[in-house]
């Protein structure tokens, strides 16, 4: 487990996805994690266009292929490029796309209001 400078545990979705099974909360000896709050997980994927291989003309759909929720699709562009489009209403922030991205192009952001997002 990784902890931050203040000693709090850090969720590293780039290292693997979360199934939101609640096992961590149920096994926490101090009840610091509340399993009933799992649906409130506020994080959603954000694709960084500058790093994305597909946006630079390299064929890649690994993030889309890894998403069991169908939250990522691609829009073809001139020059062999394709821009990933992320549906924030569908994304549950599981991290599967970040784990497989060879370019480290997927980060996570908090979103108060869910809405579809186009990558810049
Ligand atoms: S897996 Fe990464 S590099 Fe490939 S298309 Fe998705 S965001 Fe871009
Ligand atoms: S975080 Fe999970 S649900 Fe969201 S786009 Fe990535 S794989 Fe799909």
- CA gap 120, 100 in Å, rounded: 21
**Residue 64 CA: which ligand 1 atom is closest?**
6
Query: Domains in the chain, ordered, with CATH?
Result: 2-118 (3.30.70)
Q: Is the CB of 46 under 6 A from ligand 2?
A: no
- CA gap 47, 77 in Å, rounded: 17
Q: In whole angstroms, how large is the CA radius of gyration of the chain? A: 16
DSSP 3-state assignment of 58?
A: coil
The pick from 17, 65, 67, 98 for probing ligand 2's pocket by mutation, whose C-beta has the most ligand atoms within 8 angstroms, reads 67
Q: State the pLDDT at residue 112.
A: 66
pLDDT digits (tens), the chain, 120 positions:
688 999 887 888 888 999 999 998 889 888 888 888 887 889 999 999 999 999 999 999 999 999 999 999 999 999 999 999 999 999 999 999 999 999 999 999 998 655 444 444
Q: Is the CB of 93 under 6 A from ligand 2?
A: yes
Q: Which two tokens stand for residue 39?
A: 């649906």
Q: Whose Cα sits closest to atom 6 in ligand 1?
A: 63
């Amino acid at each position: 487990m990784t902890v931050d400078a203040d000693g709090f545990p850090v969720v590293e979705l780039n290292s693997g996805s979360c199934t939101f099974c609640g096992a961590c909360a149920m096994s926490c000896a101090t009840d610091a994690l509340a399993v009933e709050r799992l649906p409130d997980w506020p994080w959603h994927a954000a694709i960084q266009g500058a790093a994305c291989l597909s946006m630079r003309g390299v064929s890649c759909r690994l993030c889309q292929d890894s998403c069991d929720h169908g939250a990522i699709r691609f829009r073809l562009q001139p020059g062999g490029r394709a821009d990933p489009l992320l549906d924030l209403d569908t994304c549950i922030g599981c991290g599967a796309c970040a784990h497989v991205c060879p370019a480290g192009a997927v980060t996570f952001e908090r979103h108060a209001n869910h809405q579809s997002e186009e990558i810049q």
